[in-house]
Amino acid sequence: MRITLNGIELARRAEDNRSVSEVLDEVRQEIYADGKVITRVALDGQSLPDGRLRRQRLSAPVMTVGTLELTVELPALLRDRAMRDAASLAARLAHQAKPLGRKFRIGDEVAANNELADFLGDLKLVLAGIDLSTRHAKPATPALHIRERIVESANRLLPSLDRLYKAQAGGDYIAIADELEYDLCEQITAWEPLLDSARRALEPTERFQ
């Protein structure tokens, strides 16, 4: 079984009686020791599935697999990308909130409810990206201070979301429109400069080590 890291084939191959899982564990330890993390595992070009099928593929003998393909990255680069993605997605949500609210206001409930589900799902991704990208901010740094401000802002969002969910459960589309067009839109818009400040506050040594 050949082994590739980011498309580059390693000099060694796995040609013994071990399972794919055993070889993967060995290589993973070497990658972690080098300060990197694995972001994707594929066997012969196919990403590993979840659940039982994943266990089956990993338990296969290495002689039955052509190539173990691994994608690895530095954790700091992942955090930096998470911050950029969160900022980009937050900006998009800020622009979507008012048009979505208007759809509820004019009675286009079916399309609006579908879009609302996507909107709330993306909002969760923004929060997850913010947490990931700032979780390891060093004490007494601007990045940590900005993380605290973002967390405070996110906490202020909770009452708005609670009202929105209650309005959705009760079929009160005007109340949903109000939350989207005013509170949610204003609060998400306020995140944009905070996220930009957080990205700039991370010194290169914090972002890429």
pLDDT of 165: 92
Q: What is the pLDDT of residues 84-123, one digit of tens each?
A: 888 889 899 999 999 999 999 998 988 999 999 999 999 9
Q: Which residue in this structure is represented by tokens 């759809």?
A: 103
Q: Extract the tokens encoding 108.
A: 């286009």
What does the chain come to in residues? 209
71 forms beta bridges with: 40
- pLDDT of 2 strictly over 70: yes
The amino acid occupying position 24 is L
- pLDDT of 53 strictly over 50: yes
Torsion of CA 23, 24, 29, 32, to 10 degrees: 150
pLDDT of 136: 67
pLDDT of 205: 45
State the first-to-last Cα distance of the chain, in angstroms, to the nearest integer.
32
pLDDT of 202: 57
Torsion of CA 169, 173, 178, 180, to 10 degrees: 70
Q: What is the pLDDT of residues 67-86, one digit of tens each?
A: 999 998 877 777 777 778 88
Radius of gyration, CA atoms only, the chain: 22
Instruction: Give the Å distances, CA to CA, from 208 to 66, 74, 203.
Output: 34, 7, 9
pLDDT of 137: 67
Computed over every residue of the chain, the mean pLDDT equals 85
pLDDT of 143: 67
pLDDT of 61: 93
- pLDDT of 17 strictly over 60: yes
pLDDT of 201: 65
- Mean pLDDT computed over 159-181: 93
pLDDT of 45: 92
pLDDT of 153: 79
Assign 208 a pLDDT band (cuts: 50, 70, 90): very low
State whether the Cα torsion 92-94-99-101 is positive or negative: positive
Angle made by CA atoms 93, 99, 101, in degrees to the nearest 5: 95
